[in-house]
Amino acid sequence: MTNLRFWLRWSWRDLRERWLQVAAIALIIALGTGTYAGLGSSMPWREQSYDTSYAQLNMYDMRVLFTNGSYVNGEELIAAVESIEHAGWIEAAEPRLIAPTLVDVSDGEDVLVPGRIMGVTISEDRSAVNGIHINAGRSLTAEDSGQPRAILEYNFAAYYDLPPQGTILISGGQALDYVGQGMTPEYFMVISDEIGFKEESDFAVVMLPLETAQTLTDHPEQVNDLVLTLADEADWETVRAEVEAAIAAHFRGTGVSFMHTEDDPAYTMLYGDLEGDDQIFKLIAYLFLAGAAFGTFNLSSRIVEAQRRQIGVGMALGLPRRLLAFRPLLVGAQIALLGVVFGVLIGVLISNLFGGMMRDLMPMPVFETPFQWGIFAQAAVLGIGLPLAATFYPVWRAVRVQPIDAIKTGHLIAKGGGLTSLLARVPLPGKSFTQMPLRNLLRAPRRTLLTLLGVAMAITTQIAMIGMLDTFNEVIDQGEQEFMQDSPDRMIVALNNFYPVNAEPVLAVEQAGPVAEAVPAIQLGGELLRGNDSVEISLELLDLDNPLWTPNLLEGRLESDGPGIIIAEKAADDLGVGVGDTITLKHPRREGMFAYHMVESEIEVIAIHANPLRYLSYMSRDQAGLMGLENMVNVLYLNPADGSTATDVKRVLFAQPGIASVREVGMFIRIFRDMMSLLVGFMSVVVIAVLALAFLIAFNSTSINVDERAREIATLFAFGVPVRTVTRMTMVENLITGILGTLIGIGLGLLSLQWMLDSRIETMLPDLSLSVVLSPLALALAILLGVVVVTLTPLLNLRKLTRMNLPSTLRVVE
Amino acid sequence: MIHLENISKRYQVGDVSVSALDNVSLTVEKGEFVVVLGPSGSGKTTMLNVIGALDVPTEGQVYINGDRLPLVSKQTDRFKFRRETVSFIFQSFNLFPSLTALENVQLVLDMADAPDAREKAIEVLNDVGLGERINHFPHELSGGEQQRVAIARALATGNPVLLADEPTGELDFRTGVQILDLLRRQAEAGKTVLVVTHNREISRVADRVVELSSGHIISDGAPRGGKVSIAELSW
């Protein structure tokens, strides 16, 4: 090892001799390391951005929610909270008034969506709890208190590309000037109670001074929500118990529930996403790296084998084995290093793409994308380590043979041992030259396996990625079919409270001009319990013989003698119940005008519905007595009258008091499809990388095959076999490799997909019933990639074949 | 049968032009057993490659059966020529390692779409004395057996010209003699056989010896001391 420059120079000649294959392998490694580094960087970016954003705006530590319809005096509430024993643990407390509304921002196009007004305290230390980050326009000041001025939630405003300031209308036709657009922690991701994720297209939050909100909702000085930040030393449970007791003492009969930071839907979803995404990103990156490792192993094995005689000569000259191994290892290390250099560039490219995409799709008050040295260092270690490790085995194997064997002609030819011998004797149909491609594959099963595993890795990644899209699309299609049924124009009107069926707001809906027919219903939150398992649900009580819509059933019946519930198949599976079983339903029960308590009732599962959404459950409105809501209603389903549009309905109902939201059923599907577009954007980047990976692996293995069989090919040429026939034989060989690799890839891809869905279902989308679906398009793409591209790759070697120097190739001893 | 007219072949090695054949003319008749003799670098393999259309001369023409050999213009014609006119036998056999002896021979018959390819291949292998080894892979055969498979493969084509480049180069004396005998019998059967070798002893069994040195033919005629039988050879 005295002269490193000598060895480096020699290894560079080796690299130059196979520069095209070296470049291809370096690119494969680069794709692996680049994907790892690029995707991996997005995790710390997101986590740091979330942490900073939540900290900067003082996300609440505790939220106190008053039961629907309950209001208390704001000043008295603060006094009650400040009276608790451990009041010193409370750093800040802010009473709020939150109410459902409709928001009309129509300006040319109709944008009329449900939303929420959120009355917040305007003071100098406004950012004490759940501050507002101003993205555009200005913030609210003390002068705005009591005035019809507001801040419009940024995600909604950005979705519709609204100007920084403007005028909107809310329920009751009230005009509000929004002076700016902003973000607040609870809506870093817009989630309403109705759908559950990314609803910026259909849910508008309007933040306004508390006094203004109280005036607009006709609840002067009242609030129905409280957020607190606690000192580091505070014991959350102790504070909760004391606050609960204080509220019970001060506001008798008023029900409250408590939320931790981690219970906040946006918080949970954003942080929950991180873990699931990290697993998926890592799986993708590992698949790429595995492909790279197989590819490098293939190339290094063949470089070592090509140097076999030289190694033998070295042995004969008495060179120590470590020195003999040094040259091929140096080659492997340099290929890996080259790959990592490319990989860093690809990583920077991918991470920039993702960073930009995330800033646009998941805006946060703070979103910084610093270069992730740690992640890139990990990628570099993997990028160098894996390919280098892949070169050790062939090198170790090569330096262990006896010098005489290494020098002997024909050493490379398959010997009669083990699997090779067995496979070589497999009788094959057809003429000898038609058998040749398969024979070539069988005589070197290890190499064949490595090549097809390389192809399989690319297909695995592609199937896993596109299969995920297919699976989600299938769920959306199922949901759409179930939601729409025979009344696709159906609309849902949510009232701002429970009303008797003959109350003014209900009659106003039923008798509105653009409404053909309306069906009253009740919508409640609840929980299904069975043993230690529980599933949160959205429970609808409706007339199960109504003409507009009833759930399709997979099994069971709509009618029941006693209390009966219709639940989703996934809820039934998760709870281990079936039709006829009894289950515990935890639900609110109305006690008094504005007070509700959560109670538990035993109830029979009478049917399983066909919607893939787990949280949807249905009961007959006849059972409303169980909730203390006989003849009450808070939701109506309706069909627009002939000649009327959804917008007509919205405009008419918008002007009515008591209406919280009016939505088309199709909107639910649109929100799902919007979410899918995020995935599609992400997948498209990965699919391009996968295409490149599969092509490079196929090209490299073909190119290596041509080099390795140069003498055989030259012999065929010497006997007058045309180039096209030889190319066809290579293509058949690739076709077989491609088919096998694709089949393995599809199998592994489906397994990876199942694993991803299983890990995701439990963390991110527990309410979706997902089962692996693969579209014909995904299969066609896999075949295109794994079979067609791989089969056609030999055409790229045509020039090499036609320019082959026959005399010298025929005389070369291996 | 074979006529070389003023053939020259020059290679460019860096800035230097190396002449492998220099204005060589030669005629070989049908059924002749010709040994091309010369030391390493004398141009004998280049001559064989030019005759077999594996290589293209820099100058001059090659005629086979009076037809001018397509040289540069149409590669497909040269493939056709090799498929239908000449057959090669190489020093290092160049058998297809993934095919058995039978399949190696059958391959060229299949390529020509010959009927009863398998039966014909077996017949030829029997002719070269390998009837018992037809299902063995190359690595299971001795060097001599592999070369006999290579000869069988060349014979199976039925092409009139056999071009053998150092066919005994990797074989021991006893095996080498068997191979020579086999080749000479082909000439006796009417094929034109050109054997390239640096082994002067081998040239003693030829009808004619063409000796090359530095790209020139320095002698052309009967073996020195007269033609001998194979039994009289020793090396």
Each residue of A682-722: pLDDT tens digit?
777 777 777 787 778 777 777 777 777 888 889 999 888 88
Banded model confidence at residue A413, pLDDT cuts 50, 70, 90: very low
Residue that wins the pLDDT comparison between A755 and A235: A235
Rounded Cα distance between A240 and A394, Å, is 65
Taking only residues 121 to 150 of chain B, the set having a beta carbon closer than 8 angstroms to any beta carbon of chain A reads 137-140
Question: Looking at the 3D structure of chain B, how many domains does it have?
Answer: 1
Tell me the Ramachandran region of residue A800: left when phi exceeds 0, alpha when psi lies from -120 to 50, beta otherwise: alpha
Per-residue pLDDT at B227 exceeds 90: no
Q: Is B79 in contact with A431 (Cβ distance < 8 A)?
A: no
Predicted pLDDT of residue A95: 94
- Asked if B138's CB is within 8 angstroms of A410's CB, the reply is yes
- Once rounded to an integer, what is the mean pLDDT over residues A420-440? 76
Which of A658-672, A792-806, B157-171, B213-227 bottoms out in mean pLDDT, i.e. has the lowest? A658-672
Which of chain A's residues have a Cβ under 8 Å away from the Cβ of B97?
410, 413-414, 443, 712
Average pLDDT score over residue span B22-30: 93
Q: Does the structure show a pLDDT above 70 at B42? A: yes
ipTM: 0.82
pLDDT of residue A358: 79
Residue B70 falls within a domain, yes or no?
no
pLDDT value at residue A193: 64
User: Quick one: pLDDT band at residue A412, thresholds 50, 70, 90?
Assistant: very low
A29-38, A136-145, A282-291: which is most confident:
A136-145
Are A718 and B117 an interchain contact pair (Cβ–Cβ within 8 Å)? no
Span B171-185, average pLDDT: 85
DSSP annotation of A804 reads -
User: Integer distance in angstroms from the first to the last C-alpha of chain B?
Assistant: 32
Average pLDDT value for residue range A262-273: 86
Backbone angles phi, psi at A359, to 5 degrees: -60, -40
| Binary contact (A432, B106; C-beta < 8 A) | yes
What CA–CA distance (Å, rounded) separates A665 from A552?
Answer: 16
**What is the distance in angstroms between the Cα of B126 and the nearest Cα belonging to chain A?**
19
CATH of the domain at B198: 3.40.50.300
Taking only the tens place, the pLDDT of each residue in B127-176 is 888 889 998 988 889 888 998 899 999 989 989 999 999 888 877 888 88
Task: Measure the CA dihedral B129/B131/B136/B140, to 10°.
Answer: -30
Least confident of A185-199, A385-399, B194-208: A185-199
Q: With 70 as the cut, is the pLDDT of residue A169 above it?
A: yes
Where does B56-191 show beta strands of DSSP type E? 59-64, 67-68, 86-89, 161-165
Inside any domain, residue B190:
yes
Closest residue by Cα to residue A192 from A265, A117, A97: A265
**What is the structure's pLDDT at B174?**
82
Q: E strands along A548-595, which residues? A: 553-556, 564-568, 582-590
Chain A partners of B45 at a C-beta cutoff of 8 Å?
Answer: 807, 811
Are B96 and A435 a contacting pair at CB < 8 A? no
| pLDDT score, position A124 | 62
B75 touches chain A (CB under 8 A): yes
Instruction: State the Cα–Cα distance between residues A192 and A661, nearest whole angstrom.
Output: 12
Residue B50 lies in a domain: yes
Q: Average the pLDDT over A569-587 and give the result.
A: 92
A721, B83: Cβ pair inside 8 Å? yes
Assess whether pLDDT exceeds 70 at residue A126.
no
**Residue A807 and residue A803: Cα distance in Å, rounded?**
12
* Residue B3 included in any domain: no
Q: What is the pLDDT of residue B56?
A: 87
Residue range A219-224: average pLDDT?
92
**What pLDDT sits at residue A411?**
44
Determine the average pLDDT of the residues in A758-766.
Answer: 69
Of A2-16, A43-57, A71-85, A776-790, the one with minimum mean pLDDT is A2-16
Q: Residue A60 has what pLDDT?
A: 94
In this predicted structure, what is the pLDDT of residue B48? 92
What is the pLDDT averaged over residues A332-341? 88
8 A C-beta contact, residue A398 and residue A326: no
Find where tokens 């050999």 sit. B69
Contact criterion met (CB < 8 Å) for A718 and B80: no
Report whether pLDDT(A675) > 80.
no
Chain A partners of B50 at a C-beta cutoff of 8 Å? none
Asked if pLDDT for residue A62 goes beyond 70, the answer is yes
**pLDDT for the residue A593:** 65
Residue A191 has pLDDT above 90, yes or no: no
Give the pLDDT score at A598. Answer: 83
Q: Whole-angstrom Cα distance, residue A341 to residue A323?
A: 27
Q: How far apart are the first and last CA of chain A?
A: 29
Report if residue B8 sits inside a domain. no
- Is B96 close to A712, i.e. CB distance below 8 A? yes
Residue B88 lies in a domain: yes
The confidence score (pLDDT) of residue A127 equals 61
Domain that holds residue B131: 30-57+75-232
pLDDT: is A355 or A677 the higher one? Answer: A355
Mean pLDDT of A267-283: 80
**Residues in a beta bridge with B17:** B12
A432, A719, A811: residue with CB nearest B99: A432
Nearest to A414 among B97, B104, B170 (CB): B97
pLDDT of residue B198 exceeding 80:
yes
DSSP string over A613-674: BTTEEEEEGGGGGGGT-TTEEEEEEEEEPTT--HHHHHHHHHTSTTEEEEEETHHHHHHHHH
Name which of B82, B98, B106 is nearest A719 (Cβ-Cβ): B82
Give the separation between CA B45 and CA B29, rounded to whole angstroms.
Answer: 19
Residue B21 lies in a domain: no
Q: Do B82 and A413 touch (CB under 8 A)?
A: no
* Predicted local confidence at residue A696, as pLDDT: 81
Least confident piece of the model among A123-137, A336-350, A768-782, B32-46: A123-137
Per-residue model confidence (pLDDT) at position B114: 86
Q: A59-68, A97-106, A652-661, A741-750: which has the minimum mean pLDDT? A: A652-661
How do strand A632-640 and strand A616-620 relate by DSSP bridges?
Answer: unpaired
How many Å lie between the alpha carbon of B142 and the closest alpha carbon of chain A?
A: 11
Compute, in degrees rounded to 10, the torsion defined by CA atoms A371, A377, A383, A384: 140
Hey, which residues does A529 pair with through a beta bridge? Answer: A534, A584
A580 or A409, higher pLDDT: A580
Calpha distance B178→B142 (Å, rounded)? 13
Token pair of B51, please?
């005759």
Lowest mean pLDDT across A283-287, B89-93, B222-226 = A283-287
Q: How many CB pairs under 8 A join A and B?
A: 104
- Under the banding of pLDDT at 50, 70 and 90, the label for residue B92 is confident
Poorest-confidence range of A5-14, A287-296, A359-368, A413-422?
A413-422
| CA gap A478, A416 in Å, rounded | 57
**Residue A24: partners with Cβ closer than 8 Å, 6 or more residues away:** A295, A696, A699, A700, A703
Q: How many CA atoms lie within 13 A of B18 on its CB side?
A: 10
Q: Which of A246-259 are b and which e, b meaning 16 or more Cβ less than 10 Å from the residue's Cβ? A: bbeebbeebbbebb
A414 pLDDT band, cuts 50/70/90, is very low
User: If you count them, how many residues does chain A have?
Assistant: 814
More confident residue, B60 or A100: B60
